[in-house]
Amino acid sequence: MIGIFITFIGAILVLFLGISKQESSSKNLSASFLFLAAILSLVEALGFANFSSIATWAPKTMIDFSQGEMMFVSLLAAVTSAIIAIFPSSNHKGSDKLGLMMLSLTGAFMMIGANHLVMLFLGIEVLSIPLYVLAGSDKLNLNSNEAAIKYFLMGAFSTAIFLLGCAFIYGGTATLSLTEIEVRMSIVGHFAEFPSLVKAGVVLMSTGLLFKVSAFPFHFWAPDVYQGSPNKITTFMAVVVKIAGFVAFSNFLQAFSALSGWNNQWIILLSVLTIIFGNVVALSQKSVKRTLAYSSIAHAGYLLLFLITPMQGNMWVLFAYSVAYALSTVVLFYFNDKYSTNGEFGFSMFTGLFHSNKSAAILMTIALFSIAGIPITVGFTAKYYLFTSAFDVSPIAVCIALIGSAISIVYYFKGFKNIYEVDINMNQLHASKIHWIVYMMVAVSIVLGMCPYLFERCF
C-alpha cells in the first residue's frame, strides 16, 4: 500500500510542478519518488517493516496487497524509475509527462492489488487514460498522433467489452468482490443457476485483459502503438501494462478457479496461438521497435501459460518471468532509443557496435540472451520455472512454447549480425556513454540467472 501512496503523491507533485518546469528538472525527483516507493514496498514485502497502519482506511474488500503483490509493486516502481532515469528527457517545458507516467503506474498498482471488480476497472482506466495521452505526447509527430488515437479507440472499445463482462458476472454471481466470487463459485450448485452468464462474463472480461496484455487475437494495437509512441512511453507500456495486466489477470482467474478446467482450455489455445503468431510475425519485421513489439506479444503468450498453472503459491514464477522480461526489454528499448536516428529504425543502427563500443555490444548481447532465454541469464531461469510449472498441465503447449522460443532466436540474433559486423563508417552515436543503471540491470539479470533460488525465497 505504501508504494501506491508514494507514487500517487509523487505523481500529483510532479504534475503540478510540471506546469512551469522543464521535464529534465523533474526527472530526478520523480525517479527518486519511484525508487523510494520501490524500496519501501520491497522492505514491506520481505517483512522487514510493516506500513499497513497507513492503509487502514482503504477497505480490504476493495484493495489489498499480499506480500507477493508488493513484490510486483516494487518491481514496477523500480523499473519505471529506471526508465525515467535512463531515457533522455526533452528540455521542453512540461514535466507533466513524468507525472502522467507515475499516475499511470498508480493505476497499475491498483490493478495489482484489486480485490473487487470496480477497483480492477478503475485500475485499468487509471492505467490507460494517462497512457492514451502519453502515446500522443509527441504532439507534432503524426505517428505519435496516430498511435494515440488508435490506442484510445481500441482501448475504450475493449473497456466496454470488459464492462459488459463485469455486468454478466455480477448478474451471475450477485457480487463484485473477487474473494466473494471465489467463495460463491466454489459452492456447488450455486453456480449452476447462470452458468453461461458467468462463462460469458469471464470470456468478455478476459478479452478486456487480453487486450491489455496484447495477446493474440487482441494484439492489433500493440505493434502500431509501440511504433508510434515515444520510446520512453513504449518501454513503459511494454513493461508495466503487460506485467500489471498479468498480475490482475491471474488474480481475476484465481477467483474463478472452480472453472479452471474450462478456463485452461481456451487459455492454452490462445497461449499457443499467441506464441506462434508473435514469434513468426516478428521474423519478417524490419524495424527494431516492431520486432520488439511482436516479441512482447510472444512473451504474452508464454505468460499465458502461467495462467493454467495452479497460481496460488506460485506467484513467484510470474514474478521471475516479469523480472526477466522487464530487465531485458528495458535494456533493449534503451539501446534502440539511443542508436535510432531519424531515418533509421532498422537493425542496421547497430552495425559495427562491437568494434566501436565494446561494452555496449556486450551489454546488448547479454540482454538479448536473457530475452531469448539462454542459460545463466535470468531469462532462462524464468522460462525454465514457467515451463516446468505449466508442463504438468499441458506438455504439448510447453513443447510449442519451446519451439516458439527457438524461432525467437532468429530475430533476437538478427541483431548480432549487425553488432559484430565490421563497419567502415563508424556510427557517431555509438561512442556515447551508457547509463550506469543499464550496467546494473544487466548485472542483475546475470546474478539472478546464476542464483535463481532468490526468487522462491522472496515469496
Partner 1 sequence: MEIIILPLFLSVLAAAFGSKVNKIVWGALSALTLLAMIWVKSNLNIQNDGVWHTTYDMPWFSSGIHFTLGIDGFTGLMLLLTNILSPIIIFSINRDKQKSLLPLILFMQAALNGVFMAKDGLMFYIFWELALIPIYFICLLYSSKDAFKTTIKFFIYTFIGSLAMLASLIYLYLKTKNHSFAYEELLAVQLNHAESIWVGAGFLFAFAVKIPIFPFHSWQANTYTYAPAQGSMLLSGIMLKMGLYGLIRWYMPIAAESISFYQPIIVTLSVIGVIYGAVIAIKQNDLKRLIAFSSLSHVGLIAAGFFTLTEIGIQGGILQMFVHGINVVALFYIVEIIETHSGSRELSGLGGLAKFNRLFAALYLIVVLGTAAVPFTNGFPGEFMLLKGVFDYNTISGVFAGLTIILCAVYMLRMYQFSMLGESKTSFKEIGIKQLWPLIILVVIILVIGISPMLILDKVNPSVQKIMLEISNSKGVLS
Partner 2 sequence: MNSIALILGLPIAGFLINGLFGKSLPKSVVGWLGTFAVLASFVIALGVFNDFRLNPDFQNGLDFKLFTFLNVGNFHVDFAFSLDRLSVMMTLIITGIGSLIHLYSIAYMHDDEGFYKFFAYLNLFIFNMLILVLGSNFMMLFFGWEGVGLCSYLLIGFWYKNAEYGKAARKAFVMNRIGDLGLLMGLFLIFHQYQSLDYNIVLPKIADGSTSVYMLTAISMCLFVGAMGKSAQIPLFTWLPDAMAGPTPVSALIHAATMVTAGIYLIVRCEALFYLSPITNNVIMWVGLATSLLAAFIGLKQNDIKKVLAYSTVSQLGLMFVALGCGAYTAAMFHLATHAFFKALLFLGSGSVIHAMHHEQDIRQMGGLKAKMPITYITFLIGTLAITGFPFLSGFFSKDEILIAAFEHNKIVYVLAILSATVTGLYMFRMFFTTFHGTYRNHHHSFEKVHESPWQMSVPLMILAVLSVLGGLLNLPKYLGEGVSHKLAHWLAPILPMAENHSEISHSTEFALLGVAITIFIVAFLFTRFKYVSKNAVPESDEKTPYLGKLLANKFYVDEIYDTIIVKPLEMCSQILDSFVDSKIIGGFVSGISSVLLKISGLNKRIQNGNIEYYLTFMVIALALFLGFNLLF
Partner 3 sequence: MLNIFQSLDISHYIYLSCVLFCIGLFGVLFRRNAIVLLMCIELMLNAVNLLFAAFSEYMGDKDANGQMFVFFIMVVAAAEAAVGLAILVMVYRNTRKTDVSFLDSLKD
* Stretch binding partner 2 (CB under 8 A), from 96-104, 120-128, 275-283, 380-388: 275-283
Residues 6+ apart with CB under 8 A from 230: 134, 137, 138, 144
- By the rule CB under 8 A, 375 interacts with partner 1: yes
Among 17, 39, 43, 200, binds partner 2 (CB under 8 A): 200
In sequence order, which residues have a C-beta less than 8 Å from that of residue 133 and are 6 or more positions away? 100, 148
- Yes or no: say if 260 and 158 are a contact pair by the CB < 8 Å rule: no
Question: Which does residue 283 touch among partner 1, partner 2, partner 3, none (CB within 5 to 8 A, set by kind)?
Answer: partner 2
Please state the closest distance from residue 206 (CB atom) to partner 2, in A.
8
The entry of partner 3, partner 2, partner 1, none that residue 164 binds, CB within 5 to 8 Å by partner kind: partner 3
Nearest to partner 2 of 218, 347 (CB atom): 218
Chain residues that interact with partner 3, rule: CB under 8 A: 117-118, 121-122, 125, 129, 132-133, 136, 139-140, 142-143, 145-150, 152-153, 156-157, 159-161, 163-164, 166-168, 170-171, 174-176, 197, 223-225, 227-228, 281, 284-285, 290
To partner 3, the closest distance from the beta carbon of 27 in angstroms equals 24
Burial environment of residue 104 by CB neighbours within 10 A (0 to 12, 13 to 18, 19 or more): buried
Shortest Å distance, C-beta 426 to partner 1: 18
Closest to partner 3 by CB, 31 vs 114, is 114
Q: Is 375 in the site for partner 2 (CB under 8 A)?
A: no
Closer CB to partner 1, 286 or 417, in the complex: 417
- Choose among 287, 267, 261, 274: nearest CA to 220: 274
Classify the phi-psi angles of 114: left when phi > 0, otherwise alpha if psi is within -120 to 50, otherwise beta.
beta
Least distance in angstroms from the C-beta of 163 to partner 3? 4
Phi, psi of 287 (to 5 degrees): -85, 140
- Asked whether position 458 contacts partner 1 by CB under 8 A, the answer is no
Compare residues 164 and 393 and give the one whose CB is closer to partner 2: 164
CB 132 within 8 A of CB 221: no
Find residue 114's DSSP bridge partners: 63
Distance in angstroms (rounded) separating the CA atoms of residues 3 and 16? 20
Q: Please select the residue that binds partner 2; options are 112, 255, 258, 281, rule is CB under 8 A.
A: 281
Of 9, 29, 118, 402, the one binding partner 1 (CB under 8 A) is 402
Q: Which residue reads 500489471 in cell numbers?
A: 244
Per-residue b/e over 354-391, b at no fewer than 16 CB within 10 Å?
bebbeebbebbbbbbbbbbbbebbbbbbbbebbbebbb
> What span, in angstroms and rounded, lies between the C-alpha atoms of 265 and 344?
43
We find the least distance from the C-beta atom of residue 217 to partner 2, in angstroms, to be: 4
Beta carbons within 10 angstroms of residue 9's beta carbon:
14
Q: What is the spatial distance between Cα 161 and Cα 253, in angstroms, rounded to a whole number? A: 17
| Position 403 contacts partner 1 (CB under 8 A) | yes
Interacting residue ranges for partner 1, rule: CB under 8 A = 369, 374-376, 380-381, 384, 387-388, 391-392, 395, 398-399, 402-403, 405-407, 409-410, 413, 416-417, 420, 452-453, 456
Question: What are the residues binding partner 2 (CB under 8 A)?
Answer: 149-150, 153-154, 157-158, 161, 196, 199-200, 203-204, 207, 211, 217-218, 220-221, 223-224, 262, 265-266, 269, 280-284, 407, 410
